[in-house]
Amino acid sequence: MTYRDGFHEHYADELIGLYDCPDRLVFLAYNPLLQSGGGFRQFWRKLHDDDDSTLTTDSVASMAGDMMRRLNAYCGKNGIPLLEAASDDRKGEAAEAYIPKDPAFTGLFLVQKSLAPAPVWHVERHGTKGYIYKLYRPKKWPRVRIVFFHIMDPEWGHVTIRMCCHPPFGAMIILNGHERVRRLAEERGVEFRTDGNCFIEGSDFDALDTLGGKLAASAMDVQKVADRWIYSCCLCFGLSTALQEATGFRYDYSVFQMEYSRNYVFTRGSELDQIYQCLIDRTRRRLGLELLKTILGFKHRPHKRPIIAITRSCDAKGEYDLTTLTITWGALKLKIYDKSGRLLRAEVTVNNAKALRCARSLPHIPEVMERLRAILDRFMNNVQSVNITFVGPDDLIRWAQPGRAGGHRTAGINLNNARVRTVLSLLPLLSTAPGGFSSADLQERVRANGGHRKYTIAMARYDLRKLRDKGLVRVPPHRRKYEVPAEMVAKVCAYFTINDEVIRPVLASCGRHRRGPKPQHPIDAIRMRMRDDLVELFGELGIAA
């Protein structure tokens, strides 16, 4: 068996399936010519017989009004719901109630309108001469009318196109990778079962994983599905087909947001609960996570009592309880959460593909997906290293010995030094940084978490030099940022666990005899037995306890 990551390798016996799949995919649609003032002016002249005397801010806004009037008339004539939505509403969830029951239906089935900030061209003319002396888009985008077109596509299922009513009619195409894989599985006769947006027990996970991998390694036919609908079903309300041809209006597409998920399907829901809750308890403190939310709902897993106290639901229906572990690094977000009855999902999301520092045009989708997969592999390896820790008998001795980094001698790691302990305690958290971390990142974290306000960048570089000599951090070839190997994350976490959870509590309890009821927690009971054995050992060695 080929293991995907450390978590998969450790819990392979408890799993009945594993599959990777692209999830939510968002692509920008834009006209390159209309992104500059000169290009927009040329576009306006093509619309008005080579005359831009009518180009004003109000005339640009009037095109948005014309688009909404045409859209209102079309929806009313064809019986398509046209709903007003607030800017913070989840449009996709609201649209699920309107999805046609007929599986053969294709086309537009719902339109939502809302207000949101968007780039809009402003025109300033000379007061007396009337010529245009400034054509610009304000840095602070105004709130304008945005329309969401919900379309049923034969290949991708539910497709959402978000379009601004103001020229240059910028748009977003929102797709669902799981839905695409599901339809591919139907075409190829692959057995599957679904629960919401995931495949569950009873599915052919190997075949689904193959389909998901092929989808991630391709350009996904985004150009095809976007061109199929954006001109004839969306843009036509603001710019007729004849005007599109006269002006040569065409969209280019690029990657904006992407999600890549890894789904672990467990044999039993009770095993998933036990493993995941232990992982949450162990990693929250070691990773220094500030965001940990538990949402309670109605649906309970096998062998688990239903939850009575209901605060809120994870989705509009409130179908299941959800515990989410989230780590955010700028535009990249790493999440682990339980889904359905027996499925645990690990997910990496890039909210703006610029953060990946790679080409974002459609032919480069496989490269973007590969980067997200590599980030997810490393994240799960490090999470598993934090979850299951170990430290060798000679590690602490080797850390304390002096060494040499490059041409410089370095001191050993003094584990009794408060600053060194703070730096070491932050390594598990820094190990989750998708692109690695710098000395400035370490300085910021130490100041925020350790209270060392005078911790300078020079101190951070010196500490990293010592850690690099001991192999606790490394710099990959052709890179400028540090990484923490997964095996070193496990060693650091093991040291702090032994010191904070075993040695200190047991020694602290040796000097006093506890009265009252026996401890109920298994860990406390084990500590009490260790205390009694240590008191007996101290007596034999002549140490007062």
Per DSSP, the residues of 153-210 read ETTTEEEEEEEESSTT--EEEEEEHHHHHHHHHHHHT----BSSSSB-TTS-HHHHHH
Write down the pLDDT at residue 449. Answer: 75
Write down the pLDDT at residue 301. Answer: 43
Write down the pLDDT at residue 310. Answer: 24
- The conformational region for residue 288 under phi > 0 = left, psi -120 to 50 = alpha, else beta, is left
Q: Is residue 294 part of a domain?
A: no
- Which CATH number fits the domain that encloses residue 438? 1.10.10
Write down the pLDDT at residue 508. Answer: 67
Rg (CA), the chain: 29
Which of 60-69, 410-419, 443-452, 457-466 comes out lowest in average pLDDT? Answer: 443-452
Q: With bands split at pLDDT 50, 70 and 90, how would you rate the model's confidence at 507?
A: low
Residue 99: count of CB within 10 angstroms of its CB: 14
Q: Is 215 exposed, middle or buried (0-12, 13-18, 19+ CB in 10 A)?
A: buried
Check whether residue 466 and residue 520 sit in a common domain: no
Check whether residue 404 and residue 534 sit in a common domain: no
Residue spans of alpha helices (H) in 248-336: 269-287
Q: Is residue 364 part of a domain?
A: no
Taking the C-alpha atoms of residue 132 and residue 127, their distance in angstroms, rounded to an integer, is 10
Q: With bands split at pLDDT 50, 70 and 90, how would you rate the model's confidence at 293?
A: low
522 vs 448, which has greater pLDDT?
448
Q: Is residue 303 part of a domain?
A: no
How many domains does the chain fold into? 3
Q: Is residue 265 part of a domain?
A: no
Check whether residue 94 and residue 181 sit in a common domain: yes
Q: With bands split at pLDDT 50, 70 and 90, how would you rate the model's confidence at 370?
A: very high
Q: Is residue 377 part of a domain?
A: no
Check whether residue 76 and residue 111 sit in a common domain: yes
Q: With bands split at pLDDT 50, 70 and 90, how would you rate the model's confidence at 158?
A: very high
**What is the 3-state secondary structure of 252-274?**
EEEEEEEEEEEEEEECCHHHHHH
Check whether residue 90 and residue 129 sit in a common domain: yes
Check whether residue 91 and residue 193 sit in a common domain: yes
Taking the C-alpha atoms of residue 467 and residue 482, their distance in angstroms, rounded to an integer, is 10
pLDDT in tens, 69-84: 999 999 999 999 999 9
Q: Is residue 250 part of a domain?
A: yes
pLDDT in tens, 118-138: 999 999 998 888 889 899 999
Query: 436 phi and psi, to 5 degrees?
Result: 85, 180
Check whether residue 430 and residue 485 sit in a common domain: yes
Residue 496: count of CB within 10 angstroms of its CB: 18
Taking the C-alpha atoms of residue 430 and residue 474, their distance in angstroms, rounded to an integer, is 12
297 vs 31, which has greater pLDDT?
31
Taking the C-alpha atoms of residue 480 and residue 437, their distance in angstroms, rounded to an integer, is 9
What average pLDDT does the segment 497-509 reach?
71
pLDDT in tens, 232-243: 999 999 999 999
Check whether residue 144 and residue 66 sit in a common domain: yes
pLDDT above 50 (res 459): yes
Instruction: Give CA angle at 77 (71, 81), nearest 5°.
Output: 65
What 3-state DSSP class applies to 319?
A: coil
Check whether residue 42 and residue 177 sit in a common domain: yes
The answer to whether 337 and 231 are in contact (CB under 8 A) is no
Which of 393-397, 424-428, 431-435, 508-512 comes out lowest in average pLDDT? Answer: 508-512
* pLDDT, averaged across the chain: 85
The pTM of the whole model exceeds 0.85: no
Half-sphere exposure of 532 (CA within 13 A, CB side): 6
Write down the pLDDT at residue 321. Answer: 57
Check whether residue 479 and residue 417 sit in a common domain: yes
Taking the C-alpha atoms of residue 78 and residue 70, their distance in angstroms, rounded to an integer, is 12
Taking the C-alpha atoms of residue 238 and residue 326, their distance in angstroms, rounded to an integer, is 40
Check whether residue 403 and residue 516 sit in a common domain: no
Question: Containing domain of residue 445, as a range?
Answer: 395-496
Q: Is residue 305 part of a domain?
A: no
What average pLDDT does the segment 16-28 reach?
95
Check whether residue 178 and residue 226 sit in a common domain: yes
Write down the pLDDT at residue 199. Answer: 93
Write down the pLDDT at residue 395. Answer: 80
Write down the pLDDT at residue 517. Answer: 63
Tokens of 112: 């939502």
Helix axes 457-469, 418-430, angle to 10 degrees: 80
Q: Is residue 183 part of a domain?
A: yes
Write down the pLDDT at residue 291. Answer: 54
> Of 484, 474, 371, 492, whose CA–CA distance to 431 is shortest?
484
Write down the pLDDT at residue 73. Answer: 96
pLDDT in tens, 237-277: 999 999 999 999 999 999 999 999 999 999 988 888 888 88
